Amino acid sequence: MSEPAARTRITREPQLAVYDRDAAYRILDEGFVCHVGFTLDNQPYVIPTSYGRRDDNLYVHGSAASRMLRNMKQGIPVCITVTLIDGLVLARSIFNHSMNYRSVVILGTAEVVEQQDEKIAALKIISEHVIPGRWEDARQPNERELKATLVMRVSIEEFSAKVRTGPPIDDEVDYSYPTWAGLIPMETIARSPIPDPRLDPARRVPSYASNYTRRR
């Protein structure tokens, strides 16, 4: 278990804190959308984007013209968050309603992935993180597309996770209040793939699409 840095130590509901790297990585590996927070000219921004992880590095990518990536390239501090919602927690008191969730916060700076081989490898990591098996089945990026794409690498050094599970927690006096209380479980479920109208009708749906899941 990693010792949290001062900036990532959880002070609000510290009993929910998780500083174990493997546990944090399981959350990162199940999600596929992160939110990147940064400040530019005293204006905060939070941008959602896809990501991928390999070992202790998180990769994000986008257009070379992206304001977020252009400024990350300058070494500005960033805050990256990933949150998974596992359920709605309905207590007897509105004040005690909550959610069951798993979240990770990463603080740091980003580095540009310069070498083309590593850049292609990072793009594959992101693609395979979102939908495993697709990279080899699709056309690879060409030179023009690679030049138009910026890939950033964030070392996962300062991080913390937070996890809430279980039933509602009411004030003792409210347990006799005449209303329903409990959990509404939630999860990300993929539905049946819908083919492109211009797809060759003979082309079968690949198993990575028909059997898609975020469960790891």
Q: Quick check: 111 and 195 in contact, CB under 8 A?
A: no
pLDDT of residue 2: 58
pLDDT along the chain (216 residues), means of 10: 72 79 96 96 95 97 90 93 98 97 97 95 97 96 95 96 97 97 96 97 96 84
pLDDT of residue 216: 61
First to last CA, the chain: 21
pLDDT of residue 124: 98
For residue 126, which of 203, 35, 34 has the smallest C-alpha distance?
Answer: 34
pLDDT of residue 12: 76
23 token code pair: 């546990």
pLDDT of residue 1: 57
Domain 6-210 has CATH 3.40.50.300: no
8 token code pair: 């990532």
pTM for the full model?
0.92
Q: Quick check: 32 and 129 in contact, CB under 8 A?
A: yes
